[in-house]
Structure formats: structure tokens, C-alpha cells
Amino acid sequence: MTSGLEGVLRRHGHCENDRAMSVQYFAKVASAEDHLGFQQLVRHYPSCSYEEWLFRERKKMTDWKGKRHEIKMVPITPQLFKAYCEKLNRPADLTTFLKALTDLAY
């Protein structure tokens, strides 16, 4: 039987017997329209084009993979993020957006 903390650490790859590396969560934004929706909704969301954003995200993923981290793509839409913020009474900013990716991954 493991304690709650050990379970969390094991799930996130921090136990010495667990060989998995850390998981990095990335938004799976389906379209340029959704990207534009996030630009209008999320404070401090990147203002670049959808194509430029995809290029930057892919570069980040490649960098993390090179460090042996696992990449998890999390499908998210502006509507889902807005509902997440309203349910948890959180501001629609980049910090909340990144937290939502982790929460919605499970």
C-alpha cells in the first residue's frame, strides 16, 4: 500500500523505481479558428499566426523529447477552456491555460 504522495509521485514519474521521465503537456489546438479564439480569450496567449505557433510548439516538443521527456497532446477548445475557468472560478490567462492542460490530460 502506498501513501497518497507516493502515488502522485509515481504517476508523474518521480519515484526511483519508475523509469518514466517527466511528462510535458501541450495543447492540441485543432484549427486556426480555435487558435484565434484562444488569442481573444486567454490573456498573454501567443499573438503569432497559427502556423507560427505550431512551428514553435513542435520545436519545444522536439527539445523536450531530446531530453527524454514524454509528450502528451491534450485536445482543448476555447469553449472547453472557458467552461473550465468558469467552473473553477479562475481567470482566463496563460497560467490557467497551462494548468488546464495538465488537469484535462486525465
User: How confident is the model over 70-95, as a mean pLDDT?
Assistant: 97
Rounded distance between C-alpha atoms, residue 16 and residue 90, angstroms: 35
Report the 10 Å Cβ neighbour count for 58.
11
What's the start-to-end Cα distance of the chain, in Å? 22
Domain ranges of the chain: 22-104
Which residue, 64, 73, 40, 36, is CA-closest to 52? 36
Q: Helices (H) and strands (E) in the chain — how many of each?
A: 5, 2
Task: List pLDDT tens digits, range 7-42.
Answer: 544 555 544 444 557 999 999 999 999 999 999 999
**Confidence (pTM):** 0.77
pLDDT given at position 10: 56
pLDDT given at position 11: 54
Task: List pLDDT tens digits, range 55-74.
Answer: 999 999 999 999 999 999 99
